[in-house]
Structure 1
């Protein structure tokens, strides 16, 4: 075999390798750009996201995918409480509990949730009143408005 045919064979192989790498990169980019419907592990809302974004979010939140709003709440909860006191899993569990309570009342029956909220407000309001005001009015009549009544 002469040098020229050897160079040609080497050139053909290197071009084939480059083409294979380029095709593989294009396929990976297409895969990353594909949009997938994904459901939030806390609130259950579904969003369309790229596979790359889904993987990034799962890495941040212990393998769970969170929508933007839930991610902000969990991140804020972790920020307010030191990591040694409250870990990521505890923050996720705490927020998931809130979402489940919301989904089981407000989403199912908004009127019932409104009624429960008003009941809580009334209860807090009555607890915050001073005991002197709840026993009776401080205002009393000293003289009757009607001259026939003497008080």
Structure 2
């Protein structure tokens, strides 16, 4: 290396020009290829349309909801009213013991049946209807009283123990006598 640093400069690569430093632009998709793909798709659709026109098939279209008979159904739990088709009302009544329940109450009944009643819909429906009936009698007329009762229920649940020891059966193993005499007998 020269004392003035000429060799160091000559050995270092020259910086690339600005144009070379820019990244290469992504390749553009040619319009010709895109138009060819569109025309191929149009050709296939035209062939399918001609084939469908050649073989007339009876189409079974469902009637529009406005053309179907719609009736108002009132939930037997909460009293909410919905517009439903008679077929839907019939299916709901079959599932919920002849009673029509709205979607919100149906979810509550299903959750109640799964968690507390072992999947029995009848008992869960009766429990949910009792809660809704109590709410309609007390809650709507006096919301403060309903809030007080809800707080009481929360406190009642919190006062119960969450320990699994308290929920299980009593001590299964109990010692009837001491084993010390048997051990001392073996030593003698």
Of residues 141, 146, 151, the one that matches 1:113 is 146
* Compared CA separation, residues 76 and 121, structure 1 to 2 (3 A): closer
For these two proteins, the number of residue pairs brought into alignment is 101
Structure-1 separation of matches of 2:159 and 2:107: 34
Q: 2:70 touches 2:85 (CA, 8 Å); kept in 1?
A: yes
Of residues 71, 76, 85, the one that matches 1:50 is 85
Of residues 57, 78, 92, the one that matches 2:125 is 92
- CA deviations over 1:98-150 (Å, ceiling 9, x no partner): 101111111111133234445666888999xxxxxxxxxxxxxxxxxxxxxxx
SS in 1 for 2:72: strand
Structure-1 separation of matches of 2:137 and 2:78: 11
Quote the offset at 1:42 in angstroms: 1.4
Q: Which runs of 5+ in 1 are unaligned?
A: 1-27, 128-151
Structure-2 separation of matches of 1:92 and 1:125: 25
- Alignment TM-score, normalising by the size of structure 1: 0.52
Quote the offset at 1:91 in angstroms: 1.0
Q: 2:117 touches 2:123 (CA, 8 Å); kept in 1?
A: no
SS in 1 for 2:99: coil
Structure with max Cα Rg? 2
Q: Which runs of 5+ in 2 are unaligned?
A: 1-62, 161-188
Q: 1:74 touches 1:95 (CA, 8 Å); kept in 2?
A: yes
Structure-2 separation of matches of 1:92 and 1:82: 10
More helix by share: 1
CA RMSD of the aligned region, Å? 3.6
